[in-house]
């Protein structure tokens, strides 16, 4: 009897020890901004645009200086995030296109670990979020900021004992930008490759106000997470691609693909730290699964992304040596198939049909932002603006940039004999990726193009 009692005590002790050694899956909150260029925040050195909540998150966590979207367009970028797969593989190459129905998606991975997985606002491409399998997916009408308020209200009344993976997407700083500006035109910071016209400066004041709205939304969600969730909660902030400026969104330039990414993983990320480790948006799913106690090697069979949890924990300062991206278009408003690779400090872009003129909502729907007509008018007499307009409309078949010497991608080195070896090396890297992806170029874009009303919806 005594032996049985001792044995039972040992079993109970081991059970209790196992339970104590198995930490609770941390809650995860992921906040997504919409169309925000990486350099438009004080967390990335731009002190002219008020963004105190982004700066506060950067003070607590790890800021990434080389995070990249797989596409410079809303729907494909978000589909890559939520599947962990490049766009040709997940089926969402064009804007407003959803990923393949039979592809495993973000919610299913976390639900398999016992998580409650919830989305508020623009997490996927607007109403498409309701097709991803979230336990709850609250989508509101286009550009209604009520999603932030609803997310905070939901957190305040949540009763579940399950660990939580909550994704919240603001509509800002996507157009339409707020009518009330927060800076004077003279104060408005102008990034590279922007024509300095009065109309551009006026538009920038409204865009910076939209960035401030995104920052305010971030602050509300983070404050709610701190109030209603455990101190160990992982908080992630990023954006889907660059903002609606001529060489950002819809472009494979750095301003279109490089995105802000700040992660606070309490007890693991070093406060106020930065990393140059290069990561892709497809890596966020396996990384957060890794943090949540999932088997990232099992997930790797189904996705293209990889876990960079060691970078977050300060155990590694490097990750990828290259990132790839693709662009197809948004119906008839923007059709310009192209591919790119960043390899080290080099960037290569292949425009698959350089005979096409490049067009986007910027010049075909100028009423959204009200600055493009001034570019076209000033280009008649201002050679520098004429150069910008020509660079926007006409692209060469190949572009090669040394990002260390030319971070804003002004000087195309593709035809420079001194860089023939660099061109060959990056051409080969892109060719190998396209071959491995079964990417047939223009034929793949045309085969994937949605039929009918692709160009009629919101971008």
Q: What DSSP string runs through 13-65?
A: HHHHHHHHHSPPPPPEEEEEESS--TTSSGGGT-TTS--HHHHHHHHHSEEES
* Domain endpoint, select from 323, 343, 370: 323
Is the same domain home to 249 and 384?
no
34 is in which domain, residue-wise? Answer: 25-323
Q: Are residues 313 and 341 in the same domain?
A: no
Among residues 34, 101, 39, which one has the least CA distance to residue 72? 34
Cross-strand pairs, 325: 340
* Residue that has been written with the tokens 């662009």 in this structure: 327
Q: Are residues 187 and 319 in the same domain?
A: yes
pLDDT at 142: 64
How far apart CA 398 and CA 240 sit, in angstroms, is: 25
Instruction: Provide the whole-model pTM.
Output: 0.93
Q: What is the mean pLDDT of residues 6-13?
A: 34
- The pLDDT of 219-240, averaged and rounded, is 98
pLDDT band at 353 (very low <50, low <70, confident <90, very high): very high
Tally the domains of the chain.
2
Domain's final residue, options 302, 323, 344: 323
Q: 3-class secondary structure for 102-124? A: CCCCHHHHHHCCCCEEEEEECCC
Of 127, 62, 134, which Cα lies nearest the Cα of 308? 62
- Reported as half-sphere exposure (CB side, CA atoms, 13 A), residue 400 has a value of 17
**Degrees, nearest 5: CA angle 78-305-447:** 55
CA distance 99 to 90: 5
Q: pLDDT digit string (tens) for 123-165?
A: 998 889 999 999 999 887 666 668 999 999 999 999 999 999 9
């Amino acid at each position: 009897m005594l032996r049985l009692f001792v044995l039972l005590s040992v079993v109970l002790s081991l059970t209790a020890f196992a339970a104590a050694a198995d930490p609770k899956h941390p809650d995860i909150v992921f906040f997504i901004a919409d169309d925000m260029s990486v350099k438009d925040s004080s967390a990335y050195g731009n002190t002219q645009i008020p963004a105190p909540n982004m700066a506060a998150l950067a003070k607590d966590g790890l800021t990434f200086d080389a995070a990249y979207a797989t596409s410079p367009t809303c729907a494909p970028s978000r589909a890559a995030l939520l599947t962990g797969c490049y766009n040709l593989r997940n089926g969402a190459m064009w804007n407003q296109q959803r990923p393949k129905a039979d592809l495993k998606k973000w919610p299913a991975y976390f639900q398999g670990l016992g998580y409650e997985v919830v989305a508020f606002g623009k997490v996927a491409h607007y109403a498409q979020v309701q097709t991803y399998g979230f336990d709850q997916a609250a989508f509101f009408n286009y550009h209604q900021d009520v999603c932030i308020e609803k997310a905070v209200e939901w957190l305040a009344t949540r009763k579940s004992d399950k660990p939580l993976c909550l994704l919240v997407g603001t509509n800002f700083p996507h157009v339409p930008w707020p009518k009330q500006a927060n800076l004077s035109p003279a104060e408005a910071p102008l990034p590279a490759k922007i024509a300095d016209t009065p109309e551009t400066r006026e538009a920038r004041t409204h865009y910076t106000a939209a960035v401030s709205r995104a920052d305010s939304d971030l602050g509300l969600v983070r404050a709610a997470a701190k109030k209603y969730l455990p101190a160990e909660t992982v908080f992630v902030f990023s954006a889907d691609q660059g903002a609606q400026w001529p060489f950002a969104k819809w472009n494979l330039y750095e301003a279109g693909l490089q995105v802000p990414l700040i992660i606070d993983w309490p007890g693991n990320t070093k406060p106020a730290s930065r990393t140059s480790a290069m990561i892709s948006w497809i890596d966020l799913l396996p990384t957060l699964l890794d943090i949540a106690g999932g088997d990232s090697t099992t997930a790797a069979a189904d996705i293209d992304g990889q876990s960079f949890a060691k970078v977050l924990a300060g155990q590694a300062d490097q990750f990828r040596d290259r990132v790839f991206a693709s662009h197809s278009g948004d119906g008839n408003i923007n059709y310009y198939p192209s591919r790119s690779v960043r390899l080290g400090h080099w960037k290569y872009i292949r425009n698959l049909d350089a005979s096409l003129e490049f067009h986007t909502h910027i010049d075909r729907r100028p009423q959204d932002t009200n600055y493009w007509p001034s570019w076209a008018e000033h280009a008649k007499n201002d050679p520098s603006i004429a150069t910008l307009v020509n660079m926007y409309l006409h692209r060469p078949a190949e572009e090669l940039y040394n990002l260390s010497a030319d971070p804003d991608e002004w000087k195309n080195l593709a035809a420079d004999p001194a860089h023939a070896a660099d061109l060959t090396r990056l051409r080969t890297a892109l060719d190998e990726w396209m071959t491995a992806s079964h990417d047939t170029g223009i034929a793949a874009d045309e085969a994937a193009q949605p039929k009918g009303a692709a160009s009629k919806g919101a971008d």
